[in-house]
Copies of this chain bind each other. A is one copy, B any other.
């Protein structure tokens, strides 16, 4: 729209109901008619530019020492916050689809996937956006940074909400200066944060959804049991092959490797080990959900799983881009204030570095499943003639889906 986009041809007035036209006529009478707007809203009012582009107040100027570059500093951070708001908007809408149960109507999968992908695209922009702020040198920044104290990015409410709603865990956060992150916020904001921690985060909602992956049913296809059988049969065959090899260094190495593989896959099917890793925060989703994710991975080409597979990829993209964002942030801070802010005490640079960690990766399990990939012929065969769930999507109308006691995962509309 900016810069001359005449999207809004008169034709669209056509489809407005009488009611709306009347409302607008009233508006006209209040505002007076000007050349730019005859009924309806004009660009600047629509975007509330009187608020947005007047919100740049330089502290340095207030203190009588206007520093040119502070304007860039403000605008960049405001742009970040605008986009954080948009991410929250998408995130909340997706969470709502999951929470309400509408996700069971697979017509909503396109929407879910598109909105998650949009978050990906926004984060990609935010990562690039550092290049603009980096046109400010440490020396330019030094000239006004004293006036900003104690304002700090720690106090970005939206960023913390965003982390919580995606699924960053309170107890996995790195503490800064021994303070709880919520202590940086006023009462009202602190409550919002607490509430966001208690609401179901994206990770938990995706977990529930993964647990319902068709094919996991023990009285149905029973994926997990079939998979375990295939893997160990496959490993056994490989072992036999190796044993028949002539003695050599290579044979020894392969035997050693075989042992490791067996241990690895044994651990995969060990529910207790899963619980142990969950406790340490090294795994983040339930054992059933893990199975669902692997099922989607292996059968991703089945019509039913194509969009779910894209969704899992997009969730990994979000994690990756958030961690790249954090890392770009670290790099910028290093340039702006060096590696230590003082000779003693905690350093902002080192704190930020510590958040570029797998502890902050929410969908870490989706990445780590790459350790458990297997040759295609080890994947349990699925006959579409028998298992129609592979290509038959699930519909449900809203009345049905919102019912809390609905646990049926079978195709209900056919």
The residue in chain B whose Cβ has the minimal distance to the Cβ of A339 is: B368
Stretch at the interface among A14-22, A194-202, A205-213, A400-408: A14-22
- Bound Cα distance from A20 to B2, whole angstroms: 40
The residue in chain B whose Cβ has the minimal distance to the Cβ of A372 is: B338
Proximity string of chain A (109-122) to chain B, C-beta cutoff 8 Å, 1 when within and 0 when not:
11101110110011
Q: Is the CB of A388 within 8 A of B414?
A: yes
Q: Is the CB of A369 within 8 A of B338?
A: yes
Q: Is A169 an interface residue (CB 8 A)?
A: no
Q: Is the CB of A4 within 8 A of B355?
A: yes
Proximity string of chain A (125-153) to chain B, C-beta cutoff 8 Å, 1 when within and 0 when not:
10011011011011101110111111111
Q: Is the CB of A384 within 8 A of B413?
A: yes
Given A138-B370, A373-B139, are A343 and B267 neighbors across the interface (CB < 8 Å)? yes
- Bound Cα distance from A12 to B48, whole angstroms: 36
Stretch at the interface among A180-188, A219-227, A284-292: A180-188
Given A53-B81, A109-B306, A121-B131, are A153 and B257 neighbors across the interface (CB < 8 Å)? no
Q: Is A272 an interface residue (CB 8 A)?
A: no
Q: Is A376 an interface residue (CB 8 A)?
A: yes
Q: Is A176 an interface residue (CB 8 A)?
A: yes
How many copies are assembled?
A: 4
Quote the shortest CB–CB distance from A120 to chain B (angstroms): 9
**For residues 82 through 117 of chain A, which have their beta carbon under 8 Å from a beta carbon of chain B?**
82-86, 89, 93, 106-111, 113-115, 117
Interface size on A, residues (CB 8 A): 184
Proximity string of chain A (37-48) to chain B, C-beta cutoff 8 Å, 1 when within and 0 when not:
111111111111
Quote the shortest CB–CB distance from A140 to chain B (angstroms): 9
Q: Is the CB of B148 within 8 A of A46?
A: yes
Q: Is the CB of A145 within 8 A of B370?
A: no
Q: Is the CB of B151 within 8 A of A42?
A: yes
Q: Is A230 an interface residue (CB 8 A)?
A: no
Write out the residue numbers on chain B whose beta carbons fall within 8 Å of the beta carbon of A183.
Answer: 35-36
Q: Is A345 an interface residue (CB 8 A)?
A: yes
- Bound Cα distance from A159 to B47, whole angstroms: 14
A131 contact from B18, B125, B150, B370, Cβ within 8 A: B125
The residue in chain B whose Cβ has the minimal distance to the Cβ of A138 is: B370
Q: Is A276 an interface residue (CB 8 A)?
A: no
- Bound Cα distance from A122 to B72, whole angstroms: 10
Quote the shortest CB–CB distance from A25 to chain B (angstroms): 9
Proximity string of chain A (148-179) to chain B, C-beta cutoff 8 Å, 1 when within and 0 when not:
11111111111100000000000000001000
Q: Is A351 an interface residue (CB 8 A)?
A: yes
The residue in chain B whose Cβ has the minimal distance to the Cβ of A62 is: B23
Q: Given contacts A8-B145, A41-B151, list 7 more A-B pairs with CB under 8 A.
A: A3-B153, A4-B156, A13-B146, A125-B131, A125-B132, A316-B335, A384-B414
List, sorted by A's number, 30 A–B pairs whose CB atoms are closer than 8 Å: A2-B153, A3-B325, A4-B153, A4-B156, A5-B333, A6-B351, A8-B146, A9-B149, A10-B253, A13-B257, A36-B184, A41-B148, A43-B156, A45-B151, A48-B56, A51-B54, A75-B86, A106-B391, A110-B306, A111-B301, A121-B132, A125-B128, A125-B129, A306-B307, A307-B307, A324-B324, A337-B371, A340-B368, A384-B414, A391-B393
